[in-house]
Amino acid sequence: MVHLDPYGVAGYDFYIDGCADGTWRHEDLPAALPGTGALHASGALALPVPALGAVLDELLTREKPRRVLTFDPNIRPPLIRDEALVRARLTRWLGLTDLVKASAEDLAWIAPGEPVEEVAARWRRRGPAVVVVTRGDKGAYAVGPAGPVDLPGVPVDVVDTVGAGDAFMAGLLAALERAGQLTRPGLAGLSGPALTAALTYAQRVAAYTCGRAGANPPWADELTRHRR
């Protein structure tokens, strides 16, 4: 359930007990995924819900030799009943994935009081080629093979923030794919300007999403027609 504060910032309540999210099984996984495209995992339910997390852990482990893996912890504190389990699974998935995007809100729970730069650098040492942290109106910070990139926020008249993080991640992946860099070699050799360009595109996608009601990201042609 989504609720907005007077400034359009979204809060969420989760009601999952007895629902399908908590009853995933090994047998529910497809025998194979199509093609060689990247696989993205969100931790929102997967990190705190044991059954779902175990099945997705199996999927990520199986697919790691076959494709790029990307991850958004998307921490939801109201769902967390076993903090040790969530932290252990987070650490493991950081070691499995190639690109990680977290928000400042995620880091407030994961590493309260620690500078974004220190957390991003530590996570990157665990295995990801690129670590990105979104900071709302304060912009985005990332560290990649060529070093850190720090971008200011994009001005936007906020209607609501529902879907902003997912829109940012979608924009980032789309930009990297379009540039032919959403591969392990591509990410491992990502230059500072290339990372900056992908982050800039992702910020524009997220800004559009915040500027209208609902989780309603822009079509690609909207970004071409209306440059902000």
The residue assigned the tokens 């910032």 is 9
The answer to whether the CB of 107 falls within 8 A of the CB of 116 is yes
Element (H, E) at 130: strand 130-134
Q: Which distant-in-sequence residues (6+ apart) come within 8 Å of 138 by Cβ?
A: 104, 152, 153
Among the listed residues 98, 106, 160, 166, the single catalytic one is 166
- Residue 5 catalytic? no
DSSP 67: S
The dihedral sign for the CA sequence 44, 47, 50, 54:
positive
Q: Which residues pair with 95 in a beta bridge?
A: none
The residue assigned the tokens 């252990």 is 88
- Tell the burial category of 219 from Cβ atoms under 10 Å away from its Cβ (0-12, 13-18, 19+): exposed
Catalytic site residues? 166
